[in-house]
Amino acid sequence: MADKSKTDPARMEKIVSLCKRRGFIYQSGELYGGLNGCWDYGPLGVELKRNLKEYWWRRNVQERDDIVGLDGAILTMPQVLVASGHVGGFADPMVDCKTCKGRFKADALGTFQCKEKPSVCPGQSEKCQLTEPRQFNLMFETKVGASADEDDAGATAYLRPETAQSIFVQFRNVVDSSRVKLPFGIAQVGKSFRNEINPRNFTFRSREFEQMEIEYFCRPEDGLRLTDEWLEARLRFYEEVGIPRARLHVLDVPDGERAFYSKKTYDIEYEFPFGLQELEGVAYRTDYDLGVHQQHAGKPLEYFDEETKEKLLPHVVEPSAGCDRTVLAMICEAYDEEEVPDAKGQMETRVVLRFAPRMAPVKAGIFPLVRKSAGQVEMCREIQRVLQPWMTVFYDEGGAVGRRYRRQDEIGTPFCITADFDSIGENGPELKGTVTVRHRDSMEQDRLPVAELLPWLLERIR
RNA sequence: GCGGGUGUAGCUCAGUGGUAGAGCGCCACCUUGCCAAGGUGGAUGUCGUGAGUUCGAAUCUCAUCACCCGCUCCA
């Protein structure tokens, strides 16, 4: 498929439709009309997302000895988010002008010159139709503690707007309990919540979303170098989950556009059908976070370096990936339509999700060539029994085998195993005990002894 | 949040005031000896939701919810 079609907006509609039809992603609360900005993962979607999260965890935590994990609470004390700057700092009251369609800070009315219609600029014309000032704090707030008394509303808590803060707040405990030494990282995968003004683009901007973050602590002099190293590591990761480097763009966020605490930020962007959008930010956050928590909590968060006998506040590099966004990118990247000849030689469209095998929700379809063959069915059931502890497989005997192949193509199953008459020795002893393995992308087949199936597959899905 | 568009079967859609439809898909059986073959039968809808107008509303009006596009926003 030509690259250009991957940014075709009509492509997105087909992908959304496929996601619902095959059980990847549904609108949340659809039965009751739907909840804006929220999505549910169906049977195949949850497998895909788990594959991504588990691979990320394996690569970044389990296969490294310098990164440990954390799973922080979602409910967060106000003090934490006051210190981080999330409470209060980003909540300027804003007004909209219905005449010129502009949005302005409420305390700056009369100081703007409207770009569209200077003569009817807010605060400068009787024609201005201004909305009431509104707060734009994007955090969800709730109350902790059960109470039927409305006057006693309990203590305020926030749903965390990012996973990062629980890592900084638990920094001391992790250092004290896990024998980590600089440089080291703390990794977390989990839900975060932002009350976005305008959720858009399917799951891309949701109000409830999952992040995969590492806070990598280091000596101050190593921060910039490690930021570059993490950028490369993260680009390799995307390649490993099926998003080629050529489809990713790296934005070196210029001065003035970075968050105020960041000395260096790279955005990793993917060419979605709806445009170039961020998948991950790799940000050098200096010692800002540990600094503010040390100050607000009034407790030292310094690290004692045994080698240099020096006490220091570590700097941090943060590769922060959007999990749902990456899942969406994997689906967009995998989606393909191909013209292939059918049994009668007529050209028809084959829809195929070309997932990296390690990400595919189902690893192998298992089919008897003919359902009526008891020997083939029995052989397939045995193969299913052997493979199932190791991977997701799907047994299917409905309809013709060609249809079953196409069904698996559409959900991205990389391999289909078929037991035929040769497999059960009906055409002679040579091929008895072998099956065909059909490849999703090429539609070509290999023939393998049943005993070799498990290692053959494991090698290709790891 | 502003402006525009769209909501009818799982999906794609037809249906402009008078009994709720098609294609594909799905399920069962038959057929099927490797790429969405064919046959027979079957299930599925408070027409997004709620009000209003009307003898009668999928259809007209209003409100509301959701999705899409363009702005806006994105610590």
**Are the beta carbons of A280 and A269 closer than 8 angstroms?**
no
In 3-state terms, what secondary structure has residue A370?
coil
What's the Å distance between residue A357 CA and nucleotide B13 C1'?
Answer: 35
What's the Å distance between residue A33 CA and nucleotide B47 C1'?
Answer: 15
A412/A419 Cα distance (integer angstroms): 21
What's the Å distance between residue A410 CA and nucleotide B36 C1'?
Answer: 11
Beta-carbon contacts of residue A37 (< 8 Å; ≥ 6 apart): A196, A199, A205, A206, A207, A208
A401/A191 Cα distance (integer angstroms): 41
Q: Which amino acid is at A241?
A: V
ipTM: 0.91
**Nearest nt to the A417 alpha carbon by C1':** B34
Strand partners for A340: A348
What's the Å distance between residue A35 CA and nucleotide B62 C1'?
Answer: 23
Strand partners for A27: A39
| A229 sits within 7 Å of strand B by its CB | no
Q: Whose structure tokens read 């000895």? A: A65
For B36, which residue's CA is nearest its C1'? Answer: A403
| A36 sits within 7 Å of strand B by its CB | yes
**Are the beta carbons of A416 and A404 closer than 8 angstroms?**
yes
Looking at strand B, which nucleotides approach a protein CB closer than 7 A? 1-3, 7, 10-12, 26-28, 31-38, 48-49, 65-75
| A450 sits within 7 Å of strand B by its CB | no
Kindly give the confidence (pLDDT) of every residue in chain A, 462 residues in length, as a single tens digit, with 9 standing for 90 and above: 434 456 666 788 889 989 998 999 998 988 888 888 899 999 999 999 999 999 999 999 999 999 999 999 999 999 999 999 888 755 555 555 555 545 555 555 544 444 444 444 444 454 455 555 555 678 888 888 766 555 556 688 999 999 999 999 999 999 999 989 999 999 999 999 998 888 888 999 999 999 999 999 999 999 999 999 999 999 999 999 999 999 999 999 988 888 888 999 999 999 998 888 999 999 999 999 999 999 999 999 999 998 899 999 999 999 999 999 999 999 999 999 988 887 777 778 889 999 999 999 999 999 999 998 999 999 999 999 999 999 999 999 988 899 999 999 999 999 999 999 999 999 889 999 999 999 999 999 999 999 999 999 999 999
What's the Å distance between residue A13 CA and nucleotide B14 C1'?
Answer: 20
pTM score: 0.91
A265/A244 Cα distance (integer angstroms): 21
